[in-house]
Structure 1
Amino acid sequence: LLDYFDYAPPDPDRDLRRPDPRLNDDDVAGRDAGEDARRFGITRQNAGDWLLIIDESHVTIPQIRAMFAGDKARKDVLVEHGFRLPSALDNRPIRFEEFEAMTPQVLYVSATPAQYELEKTGGEVVELIIRPTGLVDPEVEVRPATGQVPDLLERCRERVERGDRVLITALTKRLCEDLTNYLAEQGFRVRYLHSDIETLERIEILTGLRAGEFDVLVGVNLLREGLDLPEVSLVCILDADKEGYLRSATSLIQLMGRAARNADAKVVLYADSMTDSMRQAIEETERRRARQLAYNKEHGIVPQTIRKSIRRGIEAELKARRQARQATADAEPAIDARELAEALETEMLDAAQEMSFEKAARLRDQLRHVQALLDAHAGEDGPILVRRSEVEESLGIGRGKSGKKRGKKGAKGGSRPPR
């Protein structure tokens, strides 16, 4: 894309890349427009005359910066252990310095710009705080973290009775799942969302929340940028005084913003002390809220919750595929574990021969699982029946990253509330 903007011919009807039929694309693939003009007589009138717009720049810029280092660290290990040739390092993402050099003009867009963007702008910052809809940033209330769960239950029940939705953010995946279980036992329709949930299933969960299939969604760090959930009127942030990445000023402002699409929005921070990050986030939210209220008063605007249709896209297909996989698994015949072990060993060796080492490793784990089953039933004469899908399920193949079963309420837990 960057090459296109800088090096596309000025006249799309005349492809000037081959003034000499003896030249091929590799001969004119350089990045120097002046060299192109000198060697081939090609004028690059578009070079440097374009604008790059980076949305959510406080997240995007660090990702671009980390691409090269992450790719190199992974490939260094593969090359060192003989899984890749050293030439694999040549196929790499661009360094951040290269990215900066090839972007002539950049517009950073973010509700919480980082220090890098602020320095690059040289003080030229344009604030777009006023919303024509009149919606204001939510009210923020700080409540004690001690006894936060009983207070949370009361507030959730109040919002659910009104037909609204609730977002709750916790610090860990374990707490997220335990809290989901406890809320379910208290009669709430609730699900959780964290990094173990696959990306496509997250779409289903968020769509289900908007559609009213459940009322409360508990998450860790995925309930932030880019979520447009106008049905959510309450955001509860547990342990808001635990300083760190998940409770930085940027994270808190982004979390608070998830309720900014609802006219009756409110944010509750559960904390026993006021941290610098909390103070900064609350002050910024109150500043934006005050400006919007003054604008509404001046123009006679009454804020109204956004009315947005629920788009049904890939979710229906995903659900159908999942049901088909389940039906296939139920119809799968059971076979003798000894035969399954032989088949797995053959497939493992074939995968290793084809240098599909990740596949071979998965088959190796399945083989070990079946061998352990055989060892446990050593001495028995009859067949030991097992389904391959059961072996895969026990190892978490085809599930989330952690191998835990993903469900509406997580794994079943006790009735004691999480701390």
Structure 2
Amino acid sequence: YFPKKENGEPDFLTIIDESHIAVPQVRGMYNGDQARKKTLIQYGWRLPSALDNRPLKFSEFEKRIAQVIFTTATPGEFELKNSKKIAEQVIRPTGLIDPEIEIRPVFEREKNRSQINDVMEEIREIAKLGERAIINTLTKKQAEDLNAYLNTQGFRSNYLHSDIKTLARTEILKSFREGKFDVLIGVNLLREGLDLPEVTLVAILDADREGFLRSETSLMQTMGRAARNVKGKIILYADKITGSMSRAMKEVERRRKKQLAYNKKYNISPTTTYKKIEDMLDVSRK
């Protein structure tokens, strides 16, 4: 279906956006498809020939592409290993610097004070200033429970997770930006792709619970939600520093050094990103 050179090699450019997610998905499609169909064949729901109608193996996918551009804020091992040239977009046109990271304990025995007590103090100050905060939890249940608790304590908060329908999510994000509530609590959906310039605090609860939601990539993506505002601040609640935390913090520090040096060299003052708040219906009409 795609153009080829005279020698049979592919003659087109492949662009893979958000490659840190897309590449593992391509890699996993074949195995996932085979696992599902083998069970169906085993119990007589499908004929063995069903295995032939399948996605490409990753090795087959690689043979069908030639030149590739990966675009991602957090490249994975495959992209880094197979890229001859890497172009970094560390410097922002607004001069914004990646926020500093602060680590606080999940629980302080001396003060009998938990991460929830601490984050409540932070968001109380943020609400006074008319700013916004994002709190990242490990599970949807935790997000809902924390939201309910904050509401009983007089905070204006809401939660966002995959059980909420897409259009409802858009309305929640719009209300958040408009200041109808000050705190947005979520799990995986608050990781990437959200441009929320009003957010000045990202608090990640239980940051030392090593796993998919607290991997280096996940931490980097979640912390990036505070990088649109000049007052951006990140708090990681952890009783120990995991390997993922350490790598993420080193990467942020590396970027900060470059950004600070660039701003100093060209006398740039960081400014908060401005983005118009649009209604979902207005966007669909366009």
Same fold (TM over 0.5): yes
Q: Which has the higher helix share?
A: 1
Residue of structure 1 aligned with 2:3, choices 2, 6, 15: 6
User: What are the residue-to-residue correspondences of 1:4-403 with 2, within 5 Å?
Assistant: 5-6=2-3, 48-122=10-84, 124-146=85-107, 147-313=114-280
Higher relative contact order (CA 8 A, sep 6+): 2
> Matched residues in 1 for 2:83 and 2:36: separation?
34
- Deviations along 1:90-142, one digit per CA (max 9) or x if unpaired, are 433222122111111111122221111111115x3222211121011012111
- In 2 relative to 1, CA 282–34 (structure 1 residues): closer, same or farther, beyond 3 Å? closer
Q: Which residue of 1 aligns with 2:111?
A: none
What is the rounded CA distance, in whole Å, between the counterparts of 2:21 and 2:44 in structure 1?
Answer: 34
Per the TM alignment, residue 267 of structure 1 is displaced from its structure 2 partner at its CA by 0.3
Tell me the CA shift for residue 240 of structure 1: 1.0
Cα 1:89/1:311, change in 2 over 3 Å? farther
Which amino acid in 2 is paired with 1:56?
A: E
Per the TM alignment, residue 204 of structure 1 is displaced from its structure 2 partner at its CA by 2.6
Q: Which whole-Å CA distance do the structure 2 matches of 1:205 and 1:72 have between them?
A: 38
What TM-score, normalized by structure 2, do the two folds share?
0.89
Identity of aligned residues (%): 55
Judge conservation of contact 2:171–2:280 (CA < 8 Å) in 1.
no
User: One-letter code of the match for 1:213?
Assistant: K
TM-score w.r.t. the length of structure 1 is 0.62
Tell me whether 149-158 or 275-284 shows the greater mean CA deviation: 275-284
| 2: CA distance, partners of 1:158 / 1:125 | 41
CA distance in structure 2 between the partners assigned to 1:88 and 1:198 by the alignment: 33
- Provide Cα deviations, 1:268-312, integer angstroms capped at 9, x if missing partner: 011112222212211211221121122112212111111111232
Letter in 1 for 2:276: S
| Other structure's SS at 1:6 match | coil
Q: What is the rounded CA distance, in whole Å, between the counterparts of 2:14 and 2:173 in structure 1?
A: 30
Q: Unpaired segments of 5 or more residues in structure 1? A: 8-32, 36-43, 318-419
Kept in 1, the 8 Å contact 2:204–2:235? The answer is: yes
Q: Is contact 1:136–1:289 with CA below 8 Å preserved after alignment?
A: yes
Instruction: Give the residue type in structure 2 aligned to 1:311.
Output: E
Deviation at residue 79 of structure 1 after TM alignment:
4.0
Give the secondary-structure state (helix, strand or coil) at the position aligned to 1:239: coil
Distance in 1 between residues matched to 2:104 and 2:48, nearest whole Å: 56
Contact 1:204 1:315 in 2 (8 A): no
Partner SS, residue 240 of structure 1: coil
Q: For residue 86 of structure 1, report the CA deviation from its aligned partner.
A: 4.6
CA distance in 2, matches of 1:310, 1:51: 35
Is contact 2:170-2:280 (8 Å) kept? no
Larger radius of gyration: 1
1 CA distance for matches of 2:32 and 2:106? 37
Are the counterparts in 2 of residues 221 and 246 from structure 1 also a CA contact under 8 Å?
A: yes
Alpha-carbon distance between aligned partners in 2 of 1:242 and 1:315, rounded to the nearest angstrom: 41
Residue type at the aligned position of 1:171: L
Contact map agreement 2:176 2:182 (CA 8 A) in 1? yes
Deviations 1:149-185 (A, max 9, x none): 1110010111121111111011122221111111111
User: 3-state SS of the aligned residue for 2:262?
Assistant: helix
